[in-house]
Amino acid sequence: MSVPATFDDILVAIQPHPKKRVAVAVAQDDAVLQAVARAEKENVAHCVLVGDQDKIRAAADAASADISAADIVHEGDTHKAALKAVTLVSSGDCHIAMKGKLHTDDFLRAILNKETGLRTGRLLSHVFILEVPPPSSASSPRRLIFVTDGAMNIAPNFEEKAQICVNAIGLARLFGIEAPKVAALAGVELVNPKMQATQDAAVLALMSYRGQFEVGMVEGPLAMDLAVSEEAAHIKGVKNPVAGKAEILLVPSLEAGNILVKGYSHLAGGRTAGLVLGAKAPIVLTSRSDTAESKFFSIACAVYAADMAAVKVKIGKVRG
Ligand code: COD
Protein backbone atom coordinates (compact mmCIF):
# COMPACT_ATOMS: atom_id res chain seq x y z
CA MET A 1 0.00 0.00 0.00
CA SER A 2 1.36 3.41 -0.91
CA VAL A 3 1.77 6.07 1.73
CA PRO A 4 -0.13 9.31 1.03
CA ALA A 5 2.30 12.20 1.33
CA THR A 6 -0.20 15.04 1.01
CA PHE A 7 -3.88 15.74 1.52
CA ASP A 8 -4.21 15.77 -2.27
CA ASP A 9 -3.02 12.14 -2.28
CA ILE A 10 -5.79 11.33 0.20
CA LEU A 11 -8.38 12.95 -2.07
CA VAL A 12 -7.23 10.80 -4.97
CA ALA A 13 -7.11 7.62 -2.87
CA ILE A 14 -10.70 7.86 -1.65
CA GLN A 15 -12.29 8.41 -5.05
CA PRO A 16 -12.80 4.72 -6.02
CA HIS A 17 -14.52 3.87 -2.72
CA PRO A 18 -18.27 4.08 -2.06
CA LYS A 19 -19.23 7.50 -0.77
CA LYS A 20 -19.36 7.73 3.02
CA ARG A 21 -22.12 9.63 4.90
CA VAL A 22 -21.06 12.29 7.38
CA ALA A 23 -23.42 13.51 10.14
CA VAL A 24 -22.57 17.11 11.01
CA ALA A 25 -23.56 18.27 14.49
CA VAL A 26 -24.84 21.88 14.67
CA ALA A 27 -23.99 22.54 11.05
CA GLN A 28 -24.86 26.27 10.91
CA ASP A 29 -21.29 27.49 10.45
CA ASP A 30 -19.79 29.23 7.39
CA ALA A 31 -16.52 27.27 7.23
CA VAL A 32 -18.21 23.94 8.01
CA LEU A 33 -20.75 24.50 5.23
CA GLN A 34 -18.03 25.51 2.76
CA ALA A 35 -16.24 22.26 3.61
CA VAL A 36 -19.50 20.33 3.21
CA ALA A 37 -20.17 21.96 -0.17
CA ARG A 38 -16.68 21.03 -1.37
CA ALA A 39 -17.02 17.48 -0.05
CA GLU A 40 -20.27 17.05 -2.00
CA LYS A 41 -18.89 18.70 -5.15
CA GLU A 42 -15.65 16.70 -5.18
CA ASN A 43 -17.40 13.41 -4.44
CA VAL A 44 -15.61 13.01 -1.10
CA ALA A 45 -18.67 12.42 1.11
CA HIS A 46 -22.41 12.88 1.42
CA CYS A 47 -23.36 15.07 4.37
CA VAL A 48 -26.34 15.10 6.69
CA LEU A 49 -26.58 18.52 8.33
CA VAL A 50 -28.15 18.43 11.79
CA GLY A 51 -29.05 21.83 13.22
CA ASP A 52 -31.34 24.82 12.87
CA GLN A 53 -32.48 24.62 9.25
CA ASP A 54 -33.07 28.37 8.85
CA LYS A 55 -29.66 29.17 10.29
CA ILE A 56 -28.04 26.48 8.13
CA ARG A 57 -29.57 27.95 4.96
CA ALA A 58 -28.69 31.52 6.00
CA ALA A 59 -25.10 30.56 6.82
CA ALA A 60 -24.76 28.69 3.51
CA ASP A 61 -26.05 31.73 1.58
CA ALA A 62 -23.71 34.05 3.46
CA ALA A 63 -20.76 31.77 2.74
CA SER A 64 -21.79 31.13 -0.90
CA ALA A 65 -21.76 27.41 -0.10
CA ASP A 66 -23.87 25.20 -2.36
CA ILE A 67 -25.34 22.65 0.06
CA SER A 68 -28.19 21.56 -2.23
CA ALA A 69 -26.80 17.99 -2.38
CA ALA A 70 -26.72 17.62 1.42
CA ASP A 71 -29.63 16.51 3.61
CA ILE A 72 -30.83 18.71 6.45
CA VAL A 73 -32.26 17.34 9.71
CA HIS A 74 -33.84 20.17 11.70
CA GLU A 75 -32.99 20.45 15.40
CA GLY A 76 -32.84 23.94 16.87
CA ASP A 77 -31.32 23.00 20.23
CA THR A 78 -27.52 22.66 20.23
CA HIS A 79 -27.32 19.83 22.76
CA LYS A 80 -30.05 17.80 21.04
CA ALA A 81 -28.53 18.43 17.62
CA ALA A 82 -25.21 17.02 18.81
CA LEU A 83 -26.91 13.93 20.25
CA LYS A 84 -28.96 13.47 17.07
CA ALA A 85 -25.93 13.71 14.78
CA VAL A 86 -23.99 11.21 16.89
CA THR A 87 -27.03 8.88 16.99
CA LEU A 88 -27.15 8.91 13.19
CA VAL A 89 -23.66 7.36 13.33
CA SER A 90 -24.21 4.94 16.23
CA SER A 91 -27.37 3.66 14.50
CA GLY A 92 -25.39 2.97 11.34
CA ASP A 93 -27.20 5.54 9.18
CA CYS A 94 -23.99 7.57 8.79
CA HIS A 95 -20.34 6.49 8.83
CA ILE A 96 -18.64 9.56 10.31
CA ALA A 97 -19.54 12.23 12.88
CA MET A 98 -18.37 15.81 12.51
CA LYS A 99 -18.32 18.73 14.91
CA GLY A 100 -19.98 21.92 13.72
CA LYS A 101 -20.70 25.14 15.58
CA LEU A 102 -20.50 24.01 19.20
CA HIS A 103 -17.86 23.77 21.88
CA THR A 104 -15.52 20.79 21.65
CA ASP A 105 -16.36 19.49 25.12
CA ASP A 106 -20.11 19.59 24.39
CA PHE A 107 -19.57 17.66 21.17
CA LEU A 108 -17.30 15.13 22.89
CA ARG A 109 -19.86 14.58 25.65
CA ALA A 110 -22.40 13.61 22.96
CA ILE A 111 -19.79 11.22 21.54
CA LEU A 112 -19.24 9.75 25.02
CA ASN A 113 -22.96 9.47 25.81
CA LYS A 114 -23.45 6.03 27.31
CA GLU A 115 -26.73 5.25 25.48
CA THR A 116 -26.39 6.87 22.07
CA GLY A 117 -22.69 7.69 21.75
CA LEU A 118 -19.80 6.03 20.00
CA ARG A 119 -17.88 4.49 22.90
CA THR A 120 -16.03 1.23 22.38
CA GLY A 121 -14.73 0.68 25.90
CA ARG A 122 -11.27 1.96 25.07
CA LEU A 123 -9.81 5.42 25.27
CA LEU A 124 -10.78 7.90 22.59
CA SER A 125 -8.05 10.29 21.51
CA HIS A 126 -7.46 13.04 19.01
CA VAL A 127 -4.88 13.15 16.25
CA PHE A 128 -3.90 16.22 14.26
CA ILE A 129 -2.60 15.38 10.79
CA LEU A 130 -0.05 17.88 9.46
CA GLU A 131 1.16 18.16 5.89
CA VAL A 132 4.77 19.19 6.33
CA PRO A 133 7.37 20.36 3.83
CA PRO A 134 10.81 18.79 3.76
CA PRO A 135 13.52 20.47 5.84
CA SER A 136 15.34 23.08 3.72
CA SER A 137 18.47 20.93 3.58
CA ALA A 138 16.69 17.71 2.62
CA SER A 139 15.68 16.26 -0.70
CA SER A 140 12.83 14.28 0.87
CA PRO A 141 9.29 15.03 -0.31
CA ARG A 142 6.39 16.50 1.64
CA ARG A 143 4.81 14.09 4.09
CA LEU A 144 1.98 13.74 6.58
CA ILE A 145 2.82 13.54 10.26
CA PHE A 146 0.53 12.87 13.19
CA VAL A 147 0.38 14.87 16.45
CA THR A 148 -1.48 13.43 19.41
CA ASP A 149 -3.31 14.29 21.66
CA GLY A 150 -3.79 18.02 21.29
CA ALA A 151 -7.56 18.23 21.61
CA MET A 152 -9.26 15.57 23.74
CA ASN A 153 -7.30 14.09 26.65
CA ILE A 154 -6.27 17.05 28.76
CA ALA A 155 -3.50 15.62 30.93
CA PRO A 156 -3.15 11.93 30.09
CA ASN A 157 -1.63 9.61 32.64
CA PHE A 158 0.90 6.97 31.62
CA GLU A 159 -1.62 4.30 30.70
CA GLU A 160 -3.64 6.81 28.68
CA LYS A 161 -0.48 7.88 26.83
CA ALA A 162 0.14 4.25 25.91
CA GLN A 163 -3.38 3.95 24.49
CA ILE A 164 -3.04 7.30 22.70
CA CYS A 165 0.09 5.84 21.06
CA VAL A 166 -1.81 2.72 20.03
CA ASN A 167 -4.65 4.74 18.50
CA ALA A 168 -2.21 6.88 16.50
CA ILE A 169 -0.19 3.84 15.39
CA GLY A 170 -3.44 2.31 14.13
CA LEU A 171 -4.18 5.44 12.10
CA ALA A 172 -0.65 5.70 10.73
CA ARG A 173 -0.81 2.06 9.63
CA LEU A 174 -4.07 2.78 7.88
CA PHE A 175 -2.19 5.56 6.12
CA GLY A 176 0.22 2.92 4.83
CA ILE A 177 3.05 3.27 7.36
CA GLU A 178 3.76 -0.35 8.28
CA ALA A 179 5.88 0.25 11.39
CA PRO A 180 5.19 3.80 12.54
CA LYS A 181 7.95 5.65 14.37
CA VAL A 182 6.66 7.47 17.44
CA ALA A 183 8.58 10.23 19.22
CA ALA A 184 7.44 10.63 22.82
CA LEU A 185 8.09 14.35 23.15
CA ALA A 186 9.43 16.23 26.12
CA GLY A 187 11.49 19.37 26.63
CA VAL A 188 14.78 17.47 26.72
CA GLU A 189 16.18 14.13 25.58
CA LEU A 190 17.44 12.99 28.97
CA VAL A 191 15.29 11.61 31.76
CA ASN A 192 14.85 14.29 34.37
CA PRO A 193 13.18 13.24 37.64
CA LYS A 194 11.57 16.69 37.85
CA MET A 195 9.99 16.39 34.38
CA GLN A 196 7.19 13.81 34.33
CA ALA A 197 7.00 13.88 30.53
CA THR A 198 10.58 12.59 30.29
CA GLN A 199 9.85 9.69 32.63
CA ASP A 200 6.65 8.68 30.82
CA ALA A 201 8.45 8.90 27.48
CA ALA A 202 11.32 6.72 28.70
CA VAL A 203 9.00 4.02 30.00
CA LEU A 204 6.98 4.06 26.76
CA ALA A 205 10.26 3.54 24.90
CA LEU A 206 11.11 0.67 27.23
CA MET A 207 7.71 -0.91 26.56
CA SER A 208 8.45 -0.60 22.88
CA TYR A 209 11.89 -2.29 23.22
CA ARG A 210 10.23 -5.12 25.09
CA GLY A 211 7.66 -5.69 22.37
CA GLN A 212 4.65 -4.47 24.30
CA PHE A 213 3.50 -2.54 21.25
CA GLU A 214 2.70 -5.10 18.60
CA VAL A 215 3.90 -2.83 15.82
CA GLY A 216 5.74 0.43 15.50
CA MET A 217 8.56 1.86 17.53
CA VAL A 218 8.39 4.40 20.35
CA GLU A 219 11.46 6.42 21.34
CA GLY A 220 11.78 9.05 23.99
CA PRO A 221 12.20 11.36 25.58
CA LEU A 222 12.92 13.42 22.49
CA ALA A 223 12.74 17.18 22.17
CA MET A 224 10.82 18.45 19.14
CA ASP A 225 13.96 19.28 17.13
CA LEU A 226 15.37 15.79 17.63
CA ALA A 227 12.10 14.17 16.63
CA VAL A 228 11.77 15.87 13.27
CA SER A 229 15.25 17.03 12.23
CA GLU A 230 18.03 14.60 11.33
CA GLU A 231 20.38 17.57 11.29
CA ALA A 232 19.49 18.45 14.89
CA ALA A 233 19.95 14.81 15.91
CA HIS A 234 23.36 14.78 14.21
CA ILE A 235 24.46 18.04 15.88
CA LYS A 236 23.35 16.79 19.30
CA GLY A 237 24.85 13.34 18.72
CA VAL A 238 21.56 11.55 19.36
CA LYS A 239 21.40 8.24 17.54
CA ASN A 240 18.24 6.20 17.52
CA PRO A 241 15.93 4.97 14.76
CA VAL A 242 13.23 7.57 15.45
CA ALA A 243 15.38 10.71 15.84
CA GLY A 244 14.77 12.98 12.85
CA LYS A 245 12.33 10.50 11.31
CA ALA A 246 9.30 10.55 13.61
CA GLU A 247 5.96 9.99 11.94
CA ILE A 248 3.93 10.35 15.13
CA LEU A 249 4.58 13.03 17.73
CA LEU A 250 3.17 12.03 21.11
CA VAL A 251 2.83 15.25 23.10
CA PRO A 252 2.78 15.25 26.90
CA SER A 253 -0.42 17.29 27.29
CA LEU A 254 -3.33 18.80 25.38
CA GLU A 255 -1.80 22.26 25.73
CA ALA A 256 1.51 21.22 24.20
CA GLY A 257 -0.11 19.61 21.15
CA ASN A 258 -2.71 22.30 20.70
CA ILE A 259 -0.16 25.10 20.77
CA LEU A 260 2.19 23.20 18.45
CA VAL A 261 -0.46 22.62 15.80
CA LYS A 262 -2.18 26.00 16.04
CA GLY A 263 1.24 27.62 15.76
CA TYR A 264 1.86 25.56 12.64
CA SER A 265 -1.46 26.50 11.02
CA HIS A 266 -1.90 30.10 12.15
CA LEU A 267 1.72 31.31 12.11
CA ALA A 268 3.25 29.16 9.39
CA GLY A 269 0.18 28.65 7.19
CA GLY A 270 0.50 24.86 7.48
CA ARG A 271 -2.23 22.56 6.22
CA THR A 272 -3.79 20.43 8.98
CA ALA A 273 -6.68 18.07 9.67
CA GLY A 274 -8.08 16.65 12.90
CA LEU A 275 -9.77 13.36 13.87
CA VAL A 276 -10.85 11.56 17.02
CA LEU A 277 -9.90 7.87 17.08
CA GLY A 278 -10.88 4.87 19.17
CA ALA A 279 -14.63 5.33 18.74
CA LYS A 280 -17.03 3.13 16.77
CA ALA A 281 -16.49 5.42 13.79
CA PRO A 282 -14.05 8.15 12.79
CA ILE A 283 -14.91 11.60 14.11
CA VAL A 284 -14.01 14.90 12.48
CA LEU A 285 -12.94 17.31 15.17
CA THR A 286 -11.53 20.66 14.17
CA SER A 287 -11.40 23.96 15.97
CA ARG A 288 -14.17 26.47 15.29
CA SER A 289 -11.53 28.88 13.96
CA ASP A 290 -10.04 26.38 11.50
CA THR A 291 -10.37 27.17 7.81
CA ALA A 292 -12.90 25.56 5.50
CA GLU A 293 -9.96 23.85 3.80
CA SER A 294 -8.82 22.29 7.07
CA LYS A 295 -12.35 21.05 7.77
CA PHE A 296 -12.57 19.66 4.24
CA PHE A 297 -9.23 17.82 4.60
CA SER A 298 -10.45 16.46 7.93
CA ILE A 299 -13.56 15.04 6.25
CA ALA A 300 -11.32 13.49 3.59
CA CYS A 301 -9.02 11.94 6.22
CA ALA A 302 -12.01 10.57 8.16
CA VAL A 303 -13.36 9.01 4.99
CA TYR A 304 -9.93 7.50 4.33
CA ALA A 305 -9.77 6.18 7.88
CA ALA A 306 -13.34 4.88 7.95
CA ASP A 307 -12.27 1.25 7.85
CA MET A 308 -9.45 1.70 10.32
CA ALA A 309 -8.66 -1.33 12.44
CA ALA A 310 -6.90 -0.33 15.59
CA VAL A 311 -3.65 -2.00 16.56
CA LYS A 312 -3.77 -3.72 19.92
CA VAL A 313 -1.11 -3.37 22.58
CA LYS A 314 -0.59 -5.36 25.73
CA ILE A 315 -0.94 -2.34 27.97
CA GLY A 316 -2.36 -4.56 30.71
CA LYS A 317 1.28 -5.23 31.57
CA VAL A 318 1.60 -1.61 32.70
CA ARG A 319 -0.37 -2.55 35.79
CA GLY A 320 1.45 -5.83 36.34
N1 COD B 1 -12.14 8.17 26.07
C2 COD B 1 -13.11 7.35 26.51
N3 COD B 1 -13.93 7.69 27.53
C4 COD B 1 -13.73 8.87 28.13
C5 COD B 1 -12.73 9.78 27.71
C6 COD B 1 -11.90 9.36 26.63
N7 COD B 1 -10.92 10.13 26.15
N8 COD B 1 -12.81 10.91 28.48
C9 COD B 1 -13.80 10.69 29.35
N10 COD B 1 -14.36 9.50 29.14
C11 COD B 1 -15.48 8.87 29.86
C12 COD B 1 -15.13 8.56 31.30
O13 COD B 1 -14.61 7.28 31.42
C14 COD B 1 -16.47 8.70 32.00
O15 COD B 1 -17.23 7.53 31.83
C16 COD B 1 -17.19 9.79 31.20
O17 COD B 1 -16.55 9.82 29.91
C18 COD B 1 -17.07 11.16 31.84
O19 COD B 1 -15.71 11.34 32.17
P20 COD B 1 -15.14 12.72 32.78
O21 COD B 1 -16.05 13.20 33.85
O22 COD B 1 -13.70 12.52 33.09
O23 COD B 1 -15.21 13.60 31.50
P24 COD B 1 -15.91 14.96 31.17
O25 COD B 1 -17.28 14.71 30.61
O26 COD B 1 -15.80 15.97 32.27
O27 COD B 1 -14.90 15.42 30.00
C28 COD B 1 -14.59 14.63 28.90
C29 COD B 1 -14.08 15.61 27.84
C30 COD B 1 -13.60 14.83 26.64
C31 COD B 1 -15.23 16.52 27.45
C32 COD B 1 -12.91 16.42 28.48
O33 COD B 1 -11.83 15.59 28.67
C34 COD B 1 -12.55 17.66 27.73
O35 COD B 1 -13.17 18.70 27.89
N36 COD B 1 -11.49 17.58 26.89
C37 COD B 1 -10.92 18.72 26.21
C38 COD B 1 -11.82 19.19 25.11
C39 COD B 1 -11.40 20.55 24.64
O40 COD B 1 -11.84 21.55 25.15
N41 COD B 1 -10.58 20.58 23.61
C42 COD B 1 -10.12 21.80 23.03
C43 COD B 1 -9.51 21.53 21.70
S44 COD B 1 -9.72 22.80 20.54
Ligand 1: residue whose CA is nearest its atom 22:
153
Q: Do domains 7-120+279-309 and 125-266 have the same CATH topology?
A: no
pLDDT, one tens digit per residue, over 152-177 is 999 999 999 999 999 999 999 999 99
Q: Are the C-beta atoms of 35 and 61 separated by less than 8 Å?
A: no
From residue 15, give the alpha-carbon distance in Å to each of 70, 147, 174: 18, 26, 16
C-alpha span between 257 and 148 (Å, rounded) = 7
Between CA 57 and CA 123, with CA 105 as vertex, the angle to 5 degrees is: 120
What are φ and ψ of residue 313, in 5° steps? -135, 145
- Nearest Cα neighbor of 119 from 275, 279, 305 is 279
Ligand 1: residue whose CA is nearest its atom 7:
124
Ligand 1: residue whose CA is nearest its atom 10:
112
Tell me the chain's radius of gyration from C-alpha atoms.
19
CB of 124 within 6 A of ligand 1: the answer is yes
Ligand 1: residue whose CA is nearest its atom 41:
151
pLDDT, one tens digit per residue, over 45-97 is 999 999 999 999 999 999 999 999 999 999 999 999 999 999 999 999 999 99
For the chain, which residues make up each domain, given as ranges?
7-120+279-309, 125-266
Global pTM value: 0.94
pLDDT for res 137: 57
Burial class (CB in 10 A: 0-12, 13-18, 19+), 141: exposed
What does the DSSP 8-state code read for residue 213? B
Report the pLDDT averaged over residues 177-185: 96
Task: Give me the helix-helix angle, 30-41 and 53-62, nearest 10°.
Answer: 80
CATH 3.40.718.10 fits 125-266, yes or no: yes
Beta bridge partners of 272: 130
Nearest-atom index, ligand 1, CA of 278: 1
- Please choose from 107, 112, 166 the residue to mutate so as to test ligand 1's pocket, defined by most ligand atoms within 8 A of CB: 112
CB of 280 within 6 A of ligand 1: the answer is no
Ligand 1: residue whose CA is nearest its atom 25:
109
CATH for the stretch 7-120+279-309 = 3.40.50.10950
